[in-house]
Structure 1
Amino acid sequence: MAEPYAEQHSEPSPAPYRERASRLTGAVVWTRTAVPGDAAPVLPDGCMDLLWTEGRLFVAGPDTRAYASGTDGPGGARRYAGVRFFPGTAPSYLGVPAHELRDRRVDLADLWDGGEVRRLTERVDAAADPAVALEAVAMGRAADAAAPDPRLRAVVAALSSGAAVAPTADEVGWSERQLHRRALVAFGYGPKMLARVLRLQRALALVRGGAAAAEVAVVAGYADQAHLAREVKELAGAPMGVLLRR
C-alpha cells in the first residue's frame, strides 16, 4: 500500500493523468498523455521517478524547482508511464547517488548496462500495459538491491511533520553532519532543502483541501502568508493562484 505522502505529488496536468499504489512499498505507478503545447509543471516533492516513453527509459532526479514536462518530444500526443519512488529509496534501487541526478533527466542507459536497458525498453514498448511492465522492471531491480536505510523514512516523517533538522538528526541517531551527508546521497540535497520541499507539498495539500492561505501558512509552518507566497513562487515557479488554476 502506498504511503500517505504518495498522494501529495505535483500539480495535476491538463492532459490525462492517472496514478495507483505500486506493489513496491511506498511507490506510485502513474500514466500520462502529453499533448502538443502541454507544459504541465512537475513540482519538487523529494521523489525520484523511473520513466518510460515510446522507445526510451530514463530517470527523473530530485527537483529543486518546477520542471516543465511533456515538451521535449516530437509533435503529436506522447504517452508516459512512471514509477515514483518514495523519497530516499530510489538510490538503493537505481544504484546512483541522488545528488548526481539533481534537477536532471538522465537516460537509464547512462546508469545501467546499455544492452540490458535496450532489452528492457523493448519489453516495455511491446507490453499491453507499459505501466505494468515498467513496474516489473522497478520491482526486479529492488529485489536485487539492498533495502534502503529505514532511518531515511524516519527523516521524511519528521521533516514532513515540521520538525527542525537538529532534533530530526537526534531522533535517527545521526549528527547533523551525518544527516546532511546521507541526505545528499538519498534525497539529492540537504535536510533543510528537503524540509522546504516537504513543507511545500504540505501547503499545497492544505490549499487543495480548501484551506485559506493565511491558515495554510500557520499550519504548514511558514512565518506568515508572505513567506508562503515567496516559497511557492521560488519552488513552484508560479504564484499559488496560478497553480490552482492549472
Structure 2
Amino acid sequence: MYRERAAVRLGGAVRWASVSAGDGPVRVLPDGCLDLLWSSRAGLLVAGPDRTAQVGRSVPGERWIGLRLPPGVGPAVFGVPAEELRDRRVPLTDLWGRAADDLAERVEAAAEPVGATPPLTVTDWSAVAASVLEEVARARLRAAGGPDPLGARVAARLAAGATVAATAAEVGLGARALHRRSRLLFGYGPKTLARILRMRRALDLARGGAPLAEVAALTGYADQAHLTRDVRELAGVPPTRLLAPPEG
C-alpha cells in the first residue's frame, strides 16, 4: 500500500505513507528531492538525492511515513549541502542530534497510538504522523530564512525541458557557477538533474497512456531507443518494466 498527497502547509512538498505487504525488492527512482522519513523498523532517516534508483528490500508489515521536499529545499531544512547526502540514507540524529530524538518520540506516538478508540486507520495515523514531520520541517525552513530561491527557478526551468545553457542564462549564472550551486541545492549538477526530471516527465506521460515513441518525441529524446537507454541507466530497468502492472 502506498499513498501520497500534497503537504498542507509546506508548498510543493508531498506527504506519503506506505505499508509493506510482503518481502521483496523495492525500487525507488531518483527525483531530485530529499525526503524526511520515518520507518517503524529504522526510525527517522534522511534520504539524500539519488543519481540512480535505490533498490532495497521490504519487510512485511513495515510502515513508512515520508515528507518529500521540493528540489532545492532540503539543504535549508536539514542544514547541510545536498551533495553531502547524495546517494545516502542517513539517520536524522547524525544531523540534528537531540532534536531528532525528540522528533522521533512525537512521530512514534502519532504512528503507533496506544489505546486509540476506535483503532486508527492507516489514513488516520499516517496523516497525523506526516503532519508532525511537516510542522518540524516548516519551522526549520523558516528559521533558516527560507530556501534558496535559485533552487525553485532552476528546477522549474529544467522540469519544463529548458536546456542547461538556457537555464543558466535565465538565472544569470555562468555554467560553472550554476554547476556549483546545483551541487549544493540538488546534490548534483544541472545536467544530471535535467536527465532525472526528463525521465520522470516521460514516465508520467507513459503512465497516462501515451506510446513510448510519442513520449520520446514529446520529452526531447532522439527516439524511443534513446529514451529506453536513459531510463535503464537511471532506473536500472527499461521503461516497459517500470510501466508493467504489479504481479498478483
The verdict on a shared fold, with TM-score over 0.5 as the criterion, is: yes
Residue 120 of structure 1 aligns to which amino acid in structure 2?
Answer: L
Counterpart of 1:87? 71
- 2:50 pairs, out of 49, 57, 63, with 63
Residue 183 and residue 136 in structure 1: after superposition, are their counterparts in 2 closer, same or farther (change >3 A)?
same
Q: TM-score, normalised by structure 1?
A: 0.88
Counterpart of 1:45? 31
Q: 1:181 aligned to 2:173?
A: no
Contact map agreement 1:34 1:70 (CA 8 A) in 2: no
Matches within 5 A, 1:223-238: 223-238=222-237
Matches within 5 A, 1:1-246: 16-22=1-7, 23-54=9-40, 56-71=43-58, 75-113=59-97, 115-127=98-110, 128=125, 129-245=128-244, 246=246
- Tell me which stretches of 4 or more aligned residues in structure 1 moved more than 4 Å: none
Contact map agreement 2:228 2:238 (CA 8 A) in 1: yes
Secondary structure, aligned partner of 1:205: helix
Q: How many angstroms apart in 2 are the aligned matches of 1:70 and 1:80?
A: 13
CA-to-aligned-CA distance 1:44-89 (integer Å, 9 cap, x gap)? 1111100011261110000111112453xxx531110000000011
Corresponding residue pairs, total: 227
Contact map agreement 1:19 1:29 (CA 8 A) in 2: yes
Please identify, of 209-218 and 132-141, the stretch whose mean Cα deviation from structure 2 is larger. Answer: 132-141
Secondary structure, aligned partner of 2:188: coil
Q: CA RMSD in A?
A: 1.4
Give the CA deviation at 1:132. Answer: 2.0
Structure 2, unmatched stretches of 5+, are: 111-124
Q: How many angstroms apart in 2 are the aligned matches of 1:169 and 1:105?
A: 30
Residue 109 and residue 19 in structure 1: after superposition, are their counterparts in 2 closer, same or farther (change >3 A)?
same
Give the CA deviation at 1:223. Answer: 1.1
Contact map agreement 1:47 1:62 (CA 8 A) in 2: yes
Highest Rg: 1 or 2?
2
Q: How many angstroms apart in 2 are the aligned matches of 1:33 and 1:134?
A: 18
Q: How many angstroms apart in 2 are the aligned matches of 1:122 and 1:103?
A: 27
Secondary structure, aligned partner of 1:40: strand
Q: What percentage of aligned pairs have identical amino acids?
A: 54
Give the CA deviation at 1:119. Answer: 1.3
Q: How many angstroms apart in 2 are the aligned matches of 1:243 and 1:21?
A: 23
